[in-house]
Amino acid sequence: MARRSEPDYIASMAMPFDLEPPTPRRRFRAIPLRTLLPNLITLLALCAGLTAIRVAVEGKLELALAAIVFAAMLDGIDGRLARLLKGTSRFGAELDSLADFVNFGVAPALILYFWGLHDLGHAGWIAALVFAICAGLRLARFNVMIDDPNKPAWAGNFFTGVPAPAGAITVLLPIYLFFLGMPKSVVVAWFTMAYTLAIAFLMVSRLPVFSGKQFGSRVPPDMVLPIFIFVVLFIALLIAYPWPVLTIGTLAYLASLPFGYRSYREHERRDAAASKAVPPAAPTTESPAVPVPHPDLTQTEPPADQRPPRLN
């Protein structure tokens, strides 16, 4: 049996005492389920947008439009659900913006291109490209302006520019008309390109648009049953007669844009009139200076009321 040298023996004896204690693994705080549910709905909407692109490539435009409408409905649910469950987070806001860019920027542009804009060659592709880019710019501007501290309280009832989900539903109007019997032609393709560019401009414009938040978050008791009946009736009509409902809804939304602009200007005029009606603040009068008495240097001990607190 080989005999170990003295340095090796000393090193082997000292090794157990030289080892550093293992670093404890960092434990992350458990994530509440209420913060996961809105993000799962956002991911479901993203899956619907990507599926719309796939079925549009395959030529199934009905399914593609249904997927876009379904994604728009889910987009209207996830944010309100997050605020209701108090599960808002910065991660959820960024995920929602990325999903909206795909669902309401890329997918509608590709659907329009596969349907009729490809007949115009490069011009049609440029129109689809401009719409997708404007959707991304509109979402980026929304993220920047959402935390504006100088925005008045009533401004929360308006969007700046047409929101991305409404822009996606609105820009697909030529396809709705096509399913209602409008024939495809070169003239229709050029009209579709001009209409797509117009909606893209409205998305990045400074046009005030109703956000729907002015209706409040509470419903009067006598309006609960009528709201239930209206929602069920709307969904039933949308399933049974999708193209007339989408066409009428799109035209009604476009007709409401001037009213949103007018309402916003009225709020601005009221604020300006209220600021002029406030009287200016009265000037403050300065109080006369009080002479500070000089200490009497002839006293050998300060008076009792001028001593430090611990000596009084």
Reading the chain (312 residues) residue by residue, the pLDDT tens digits are 455 555 555 555 555 544 555 666 666 566 667 778 888 999 999 999 999 999 999 999 999 999 999 999 998 888 778 777 777 778 888 888 899 999 999 999 999 999 999 999 999 999 999 999 999 999 888 877 766 666 776 776 788 889 999 999 999 999 999 999 898 889 999 999 999 999 999 999 988 888 876 555 677 788 888 888 998 999 999 999 999 999 999 999 999 999 988 888 887 788 777 777 766 555 555 555 555 555 554 444 444 444 444 433
Q: Is 98 helix (H, G, I), strand (E, B) or coil?
A: helix
Cβ contact 209:164 at 8 Å:
no
Distance (Å, rounded) from C-alpha 55 to C-alpha 64? 6
Domains contained in the chain, CATH given: 33-146+154-209+227-261 (1.20.120.1760)
Q: In the beta sheet, which residues pair with residue 209?
A: 159
Instruction: State residue 19's pLDDT score.
Output: 52
Q: Is 210 helix (H, G, I), strand (E, B) or coil?
A: strand
**Cα→Cα distances 294→287, 291, 297, Å:** 21, 9, 9
Q: Which amino acid is at 258?
A: P
Question: Rg of the chain over CA atoms, in angstroms?
Answer: 33
Distance (Å, rounded) from C-alpha 134 to C-alpha 110? 14
Q: What is the pTM of this model?
A: 0.75
Instruction: State residue 239's pLDDT score.
Output: 92
Q: Is 85 helix (H, G, I), strand (E, B) or coil?
A: coil
140: Cβ–Cβ under 8 A, 6 or more apart, which residues? 97
Cβ contact 133:127 at 8 Å:
no
Distance (Å, rounded) from C-alpha 100 to C-alpha 106? 9
Instruction: State residue 134's pLDDT score.
Output: 94
Q: Tell me what percent of the residues of the chain surpass a pLDDT of 70.
A: 74
Distance (Å, rounded) from C-alpha 142 to C-alpha 259? 21
Cβ contact 91:133 at 8 Å:
no
**Cα→Cα distances 181→113, 174, 178, 226, 240, Å:** 19, 11, 5, 34, 17
Cα four-point dihedral sign 181, 187, 193, 199: negative
Distance (Å, rounded) from C-alpha 17 to C-alpha 111? 69
Cβ contact 138:210 at 8 Å:
no
Q: Which helix (H) or strand (E) holds 208?
A: strand 208-210
Exposed, middle or buried by CB within 10 Å (0-12, 13-18, 19+), for 280?
A: exposed
